[in-house]
Chains A and B, each alone.
Chain A
Amino acid sequence: MILRYDGTFAGFLTAVALARERSAEPEAITDREPEQQGLFAAVEEVETDRDRAGELYQLIRRTLPAGAVQTLRYAFHAGEPGREILLFRYLQLGLTTGPRFGAMLAHEAVIPVWKLARAVGREAHRYKGLVRFRQLEGDVWYAAMEPDHRILPLIAPHFAARFADQRWIIHDRRRNEAVAFDPARREWADIPLEVTGPLPLSAGEELFRDLWQRYFDRLSIAERHNPKLQRQNLPLKHRRHLPEFERE
């Protein structure tokens, strides 16, 4: 059995509920086109059922310790294909174990999920610093990023609290997803977004980009020059949308 769902958390939980009902472990749970369709197992489309998903989620929250639920939610946002089946095994173990599950850190079904959650958490934390806004015409603040994991929903609350008086958009250009924040209503919304041409910058934007670049260049101490350490801390993949590296 291969279960295909719509990519949402509720969809995933529906698929898990379905598999649990049949007391079978699926070969795969996926939100993309399977590569070898129908060779060994038929692909079954799972229609997201919010009620069933909600029911299962309540069961999870009642049974698993809070930390384990968070680990599950974070790991779900990982970019790795194949994560769903790891999450499925993790959940199965957690639901049979109960509160003791929190101490099973070294279990083979727990470690891979915990590692995914850690990778997602790290990237989300990192992007709290690496999301860089530019002021566009019309006083909209726009930031582009290309993270490995689907971290937009995880970082949106941070920026909503921090820049509560700005109209801002954070754009995941890898997935063509964005979060837009409206300061009047203090709400953010997920929007699909694709940018093709150059964006119209506000009048003051060039000045501040120049100020920032000059400032950044002066900060480094020549006697301590250490580009290897810099690359270790800030890999090249993270530099693409940072103005201080635009000239490289």
Chain B
Amino acid sequence: MPELSLAEKLEILADGAKYDVSCASSGSSRRNKGGIGNAAQCGICHSWTADGRCVSLLKILLTNACIYDCAYCVNRRSNDTRRVLLTPAEVAELTIGFYRRNAIEGLFLSTGVVKDPDHTMELLIEATSILREEHRFNGYIHVKVVPGADLLLVDRLGRLADRVSVNMELPSRESLQLLAPDKSREAIVAPMKRVGELIVQTKEERKVSRKIPPFAPAGQSTQLIIGASGESDLQIVSLAAGLYGRLSMKRVYYSAFIPVNTDTRLPSVVGTPPLVREHRLYQADWLMRYYGFAAGELLDEEHPNLDLSLDPKAGWALRNLHLFPVEVNRAPLELLLRVPGIGVRSAQRIVGARRGGHLSLDDLALLGVVMKRARYFVTARGRFGADMTPDAAGLQARLTERTTPRPRWSQPSLFDGANAIDIRSTITGEL
């Protein structure tokens, strides 16, 4: 068999990595210390592919060979595909070549599991340390942790990378057993816990001495596949809430299930992947992280799934009409954040602007409030701007008008905390 060219290897290994939806390059502010590159706190997108997702990192596998046989995975052992391997030095060379051209913000390195988890982790660590030490690369690096690897290796990797992640993939123990029988829940959760502890601990130590290298300064993330197994949105959202709360997770990514294998254990999907459901889950996730919503406020046993035709904040508002309308000149920030049509930025702007004078309904639109939705839920100087008093049925009809779900939103969250790229911070340089 002739040796494959670097270009052919790149194609095969990019193909194997693209289903991982994590793309963010934010949350780290590494400085260029006498080499090449730095990391921008707000994250930077460099291009957008034909599916509308952004390109921020060179997202690639070290190898697509794998000892596991997970039903949903394109690289599973039983698939008859060509297996290739990049050397750690080749990974570094590609990263630097693209980085110097400013085509990428850094590296996202994932891999199949070769030989055993420890060996695989050592290869990842080698690629990362070649970049950091030989090339003196200070750009963003996100590396996968291999479940089941020695926790000391997790420790080493986290000191080199900006972000580490362990993919959970399946939201419950049962689905995991069915679809990824080679992996155990424990093997996934143990490194997550370790990473969580080290992040907290290192932050404390660095308060005492800045000489201690940061541990995964951009935090850890994970990915859940949506629609490959039978979990409800309530189960998924509660799981995410737990990950944010207990494991100090930075991001949970939701990936609409795309059938890449034929397997009787998987649902037979016809048509497009559940992109609207994925979008609604991202919205719910956003509400939990930035708007102060608890999982139980968005979903409960009676309503275990998100409404596909209505965004989760509007859904919550319709169930809680007794709280509305709110007077924008008086309402506290927390309540403004709960008004449909008012986002984090416009809520902050309202609070800022009303110090300078009473706001009218017209002012709200200028401050970025989406009045099409908000007018049913606010008053300004006591004035109500809609032609109807809110009742749930009528409002539901109004709010879903012409907003029938279109599968346009693949990943609303191009940067971690899109709110972090609040333009004011771009302008003032405040972080």
Count residues on chain B whose CB falls below 8 Å from chain A CBs.
69
- Among B18, B45, B49, the residue within 8 A (CB) of A129 is B45
The answer to whether B11 touches A218, judged by C-beta atoms less than 8 angstroms apart, is: yes
Partner of B50, one of A111, A161, A164, A226: A226
Proximity bits, B78-102, A CB within 8 Å = 1, else 0: 0000000000000000100110111
- Least CB separation from B36: chain A residue: A165
**Contact mask A108-148 → B, CB, 8 Å, 1/0?**
00010000011001101100111111110000010100000
Contacts of B73 in A (CB 8 A): none
Q: Which residue of B lies closest to A101 (CB)?
A: B356
Of the listed residues A66, A162, A243, the one surrounded by the most CB atoms of chain B closer than 10 A to its CB is A162
Query: Which A residues are CB-close (under 8 A) to B11?
Result: 214-215, 218
If A106-B366, A117-B427, A133-B101 touch, whether A221 touches B18 (CB-CB below 8 Å) is yes
CA distance A229 to B279 in the complex (A): 14
- State A125–B366 Cα separation when bound (angstroms): 23
- A32 interface contact, C-beta 8 A: no
Instruction: Name the A residues within 8 Å of B35 (CB-CB).
Output: 165
Contacts of B367 in A (CB 8 A): 105-106
Contact A124 B426 (CB under 8 A): yes
Task: Say whether A244 faces chain B, with CB atoms less than 8 Å apart.
Answer: yes
- A134 — nearest CB in chain B belongs to which residue? B101
Cβ of A106 and Cβ of B357 under 8 Å apart?
yes
Interface of chain A: mostly helix, strand, loop or mixed: helix
Docked-complex contact A122 and B32, CB < 8 angstroms = no
Contact A106 B101 (CB under 8 A): no
* Bound-complex Cα distance A22 to B383 (A): 43
The A-B contact count (CB < 8 A) is 188
Q: Is the CB of A216 within 8 A of B55?
A: yes
Residue pair B47, A121 in contact (C-beta under 8 Å): no
Q: Nearest-CB distance from A135 to chain B (Å)?
A: 7
Are A70 and B427 in contact (CB-based, < 8 A)? yes
Which residues in chain B, 408-426, are within 8 Å of chain A measured between CB atoms? 408-410, 414, 421, 423-424, 426
B168 near A: Cβ within 8 Å? no
Whether the Cβ atoms of B98 and A121 lie closer than 8 Å is no
How far apart are B33's CB and chain A's nearest CB, in angstroms? 10
| A225:B51 contact, CB within 8 angstroms | yes
Complex: how many Å from CA A130 to CA B102?
Answer: 8
Cβ-defined contact, A105 with B352, below 8 A: yes
The answer to whether B47 and A242 have CB atoms under 8 Å apart is yes
Chain A: which residue is nearest B97 at the CB level? Answer: A208
Chain A contributes a number of interface residues (CB within 8 A of B) equal to 64
Q: Which of A11-19, A23-31, A49-57, A230-238 contacts B (4 or more CB under 8 A)?
A: A230-238
Q: Mark B203-226, 1 if CB is under 8 A from A, else 0.
A: 000000000000000000000000
A233 to B367, CA, bound (A): 23
CA distance A165 to B177 in the complex (A): 50
Contact B356 A230 (CB under 8 A): no
Q: Are B356 and A221 in contact (CB under 8 A)?
A: no
Asked if A185 lies at the interface with its beta carbon under 8 angstroms from chain B, I say no
| Pair A103/B427 contact, Cβ less than 8 Å | no
Is A247 positioned at the interface, with any CB of B under 8 Å from its CB? Answer: no
Report the bound CA distance from A106 to B46 in whole Å: 34
Interface residues of B in 4-50 (CB under 8 A from A): 6-7, 10-11, 14-15, 18-19, 31-32, 34-38, 40, 42, 44-50
B427 touches A67 (CB 8 A): yes
Chain A 197-220 interface 0/1 with B at a Cβ cutoff of 8 Å (1 = within): 000000010001011101110111
Q: How far is the CA of A124 from the CA of B37 in the complex (A)?
A: 18
Would A212 and B98 count as touching, CB distance under 8 A? yes
Are B47 and A234 touching (Cβ within 8 A)?
yes
Q: State A158–B349 Cα separation when bound (angstroms).
A: 28
Cβ contact within 8 Å between A214 and B50: no
Q: B113 interface residue, CB < 8 Å from A?
A: no
Contact B356 A103 (CB under 8 A): yes
The verdict on A132 contacting B52 (CB below 8 Å), with A104-B356, A161-B38, A219-B14 known, is no
Taking a contact as CB atoms under 8 Å apart, the answer to whether B258 and A221 are in contact is: yes
A220-B19 Cα distance, complex, nearest whole Å: 9
B421 interface neighbour in A71, A117, A125, Cβ under 8 Å: A125
| With A128-B40, A133-B100 as contacts: A67 and B424 at CB distance below 8 Å | yes
List the B side residues contacting A162 at CB < 8 Å. 32, 36-38, 102, 139
Assess the A164–B427 pair: CB atoms within 8 A: no
Give, as a whole number of angstroms, the nearest-CB distance from A110 to chain B: 9
Q: Is the CB of B47 within 8 A of A226?
A: no
Residues of B86-123 contacting chain A, CB below 8 A: 94, 97-98, 100-103, 105
Which of A124, A208, A243 has the most chain B CB atoms inside 10 A of its CB?
Answer: A208
Give residues of chain A (69-117) contacting chain B, Cβ–Cβ below 8 Å: 70-71, 74, 100, 102-107, 111, 117
Taking CB atoms, residues of chain B closer than 8 Å to A227 are 50, 52
Can you list 27 residue pairs at the A/B interface with Cβ under 8 Å? Answer: A70-B427, A70-B428, A103-B352, A103-B353, A103-B355, A104-B353, A121-B423, A129-B46, A129-B102, A134-B101, A159-B102, A165-B36, A204-B97, A208-B98, A214-B11, A215-B14, A215-B58, A219-B18, A219-B55, A220-B49, A220-B53, A221-B19, A227-B52, A228-B52, A229-B48, A229-B410, A230-B52
Contacts A103-B356, A129-B102, A219-B59 known; list 15 others, CB within 8 Å. A67-B424, A70-B428, A71-B427, A74-B427, A121-B426, A128-B44, A132-B103, A163-B100, A204-B97, A208-B98, A212-B101, A219-B14, A221-B18, A224-B256, A230-B52
- Report B's interface with A, CB cutoff 8 A: 6-7, 10-11, 14-15, 18-19, 31-32, 34-38, 40, 42, 44-56, 58-59, 94, 97-98, 100-103, 105, 139, 256, 258, 272-273, 275, 349, 352-357, 359, 363, 366-367, 407-410, 414, 421, 423-424, 426-429
